[in-house]
A and B are shown apart, each in its own frame.
Chain A
Amino acid sequence: MKLLEYQAKEVLASLGIAIPPGRVAHTPDEAASACAELGPVAVKAQVPVGGRGKAGGIKLAGTPEEARAAAQQIIGMDIKGFKVPLVYCESALDIGREIYLGFTVDRDARANILMLSARGGMDIEQVAEESPDSIARLYPNPWRGPLDFELSQLVYEAGLGELARPLAALIKKLYRAIPELDAVTAEINPLVITKSGDMVAGDAKLETDENSAWRHKDLEQRYGGGVEGDPYEAEAKKRGLTYVSLDGEVGIIGNGAGLCMSTLDLVQRAGGRAANFCDIGGGAKAEVVENALAVILMNPKVKGVLINVFGGITRGDEVAKGIVTARDRLQMKLPLVVRLSGTREEEGRAILHQNGIEPGANAWEAAQKIVALTRELDTPPALRATSPQGGEAR
Chain B
Amino acid sequence: MSILLDANTRVIVQGITGREGTFHAEQMQQVGTKVVGGTSPGKGGTTHVGVPVFNTVAEAVKATGANASGIFVPPPFAPDAIMEAAANGIELIVCITEGIPIQDMIRVKDYLRGYPRARLLGPNCPGLITPGAAKIGIIPQRVASRGSVGLVSRSGTLTYEVGSALTAAGMGQSTIVGIGGDPILGLTFKDVIELFEKDPQTTHLVVIGEIGGSDEERAAELLAKGSRLKTVAFISGRTAPEGKRMGHAGAIISGNRGTAKSKEEAFRAAGVAVAETTDDIVGLLRSA
CB within 8 Å of B: which residues of A?
2, 48-50, 80-81, 100, 102-108, 110-113, 115, 124-125, 128-129, 135, 141-143, 178-179, 182, 184-185, 187, 189, 205, 207, 209, 211-212, 214-215, 229, 244, 246, 254-259, 261-262, 264-266, 268-269, 274, 277, 282, 310, 312-313, 341, 343, 362-364
Known: A49-B244, A211-B100. 20 other contacts (CB 8 A): A48-B246, A50-B248, A108-B218, A112-B106, A115-B249, A124-B252, A125-B251, A128-B251, A128-B255, A185-B246, A212-B102, A214-B76, A258-B159, A259-B156, A259-B157, A261-B211, A262-B277, A266-B277, A312-B138, A312-B156
**CB-based contact A189/B157 at 8 Å:** no
Cβ contacts under 8 Å, B6 to chain A: none
Q: Which of B32-40, B44-52, B178-186, B192-200 contacts A (4 or more CB under 8 A)?
A: B178-186
**CB-based contact A312/B248 at 8 Å:** no
Centre residue among B107, B159, B247, B279 by max chain A CB count within 10 A: B247
**CB-based contact A211/B75 at 8 Å:** yes
Nearest-neighbour CB distance to chain A for B236, whole angstroms, equals 4
Q: Is B133 an interface residue (CB 8 A)?
A: no
Taken together as a complex, chains A and B put the C-alpha atoms of A108 and B219 apart, in Å, by 12
**CB-based contact A362/B279 at 8 Å:** yes
Cβ contacts under 8 Å, B99 to chain A: 211
Q: Using A135-B252, A205-B246 as known contacts, say yes or no to A178 and B238 having CB atoms under 8 A apart.
A: no
Taken together as a complex, chains A and B put the C-alpha atoms of A20 and B110 apart, in Å, by 37
Taken together as a complex, chains A and B put the C-alpha atoms of A254 and B161 apart, in Å, by 12
**CB-based contact A104/B244 at 8 Å:** no
Q: Is B42 an interface residue (CB 8 A)?
A: no
**CB-based contact A261/B164 at 8 Å:** no
**Closest B-chain residue to A248, C-beta based?**
B239
Taken together as a complex, chains A and B put the C-alpha atoms of A106 and B253 apart, in Å, by 7
Contact of A258 (CB < 8 Å), options: B103, B111, B158: B158
Taken together as a complex, chains A and B put the C-alpha atoms of A266 and B240 apart, in Å, by 11
Q: Is B143 an interface residue (CB 8 A)?
A: yes
Cβ contacts under 8 Å, B283 to chain A: none
Chain B contact-residue range equals 35 or more
Taken together as a complex, chains A and B put the C-alpha atoms of A205 and B250 apart, in Å, by 12
Centre residue among B183, B185, B238, B246 by max chain A CB count within 10 A: B246
Cβ contacts under 8 Å, B265 to chain A: none
Q: Is B285 an interface residue (CB 8 A)?
A: no
Taken together as a complex, chains A and B put the C-alpha atoms of A282 and B181 apart, in Å, by 14
Nearest-neighbour CB distance to chain B for A186, whole angstroms, equals 8
Contact with A along B55-92 (1 / 0, CB 8 A): 00000000000000000000110000000000000000
**CB-based contact B246/A258 at 8 Å:** no
**Closest B-chain residue to A246, C-beta based?**
B241
- List 23 A-B pairs, Cβ < 8 Å: A2-B246, A49-B244, A50-B246, A81-B244, A105-B102, A107-B212, A108-B254, A110-B185, A124-B252, A128-B255, A143-B107, A207-B246, A212-B103, A214-B75, A246-B241, A261-B240, A264-B240, A268-B239, A269-B276, A310-B160, A312-B140, A313-B138, A362-B279
Taken together as a complex, chains A and B put the C-alpha atoms of A189 and B248 apart, in Å, by 9
**Closest A-chain residue to B100, C-beta based?**
A211
**CB-based contact A50/B253 at 8 Å:** no
